[in-house]
A = this chain, B = another copy of it.
Amino acid sequence: MNTEEAGARTREAAEAAILDHQDKDDAAAAYEAEAGEPAVLSGAAKRKLESRRKLMAAARKLFVERGYHETRPQDISREAGVGHGTFYLHFEDKLDCFLAFTEEAADELHVFVETHHAVAGSLDEGIRELLTAIFEYSDENPGVLAAALTDVSVISTGDTGKKMPVDRWADVWAQLMDRWKETGEAFAELDTKLAGYLIVGAIKQGGAYGHRRRIERPDMIEGMARLFVRALKK
């Protein structure tokens, strides 16, 4: 499998995930995926997808603007222009909705990163490209990453058992670093798993700082890239 294909497939999955709800009762989506093209949806299925799209958009808007605890299911419903009950037709509960938002954002960023060919190339370039992609996404979707990276443990004590965006993102970095270790660009003793988390943590906190202090994007990228490159390069 080459990167192109991976990108394509991933994009597909991401787009599907935006509309779909996990692997639940969405026969139409399954059909679509199999057939490889939009296909004809029954009226009911179309309506349902439309509702979900509206709810997801509303949820994203409000979670970003107000945060998890300040957003009520009923606000999301109203913003989406659907009835209160419809919310619970699409999400098990509020947390489920938040996690769906979170996954959507992660998928989008994934697509974004891949389409920006950030993953290819040398350590120096790769890091800069990746940071650039991330900050570009952040520019186009202000606040989304910060909201999606919210620590769920602050929201719910019980483990959700889901892979959170933080983990996905840490993985992406870890894989990249594994490649750089193979090519001999990164130093040999590097613990890529741990480093993945450190980098994500750094970006998250640094991003918040930069946002608050209104630091220019290029400066942020340069400041971070310099440190990351130094830390990792052989």
Contact = CB atoms under 8 A, between A and B. Distances in A.
A2 interface: no
Contacts of A151: 150-151, 154, 208
Given A68-B154, A151-B151, A228 B231 contact: yes
Contact of A227 (B166, B170, B195): B195
A199 B202 contact: yes
Contact of A197 (B155, B166, B206): B206
A227 to B, nearest CB: 5
A189 interface: yes
A223 B166 contact: no
Contact of A230 (B187, B199, B223): B187
Contacts of A66: 157
Chain A interface residue number, banded: 35 or more
A205 B204 contact: yes
Copies of this chain, tallied across the complex: 4
Contacts of A224: 194, 198
A131 to B, nearest CB: 12
B201 A205 contact: yes
Contacts of A209: 170, 193-194, 197
A111 B142 CA distance: 38
Interface in A121-161: 150-151, 153-155, 157
A205 B210 contact: no
User: What are the 3 tightest A-B residue pairs by CB atom distance, in nearest-first order?
Assistant: A201-B205, A231-B231, A198-B202
Given A151-B208, A154-B154, A200-B205, 4 more contacts: A68-B154, A150-B151, A198-B227, A230-B232
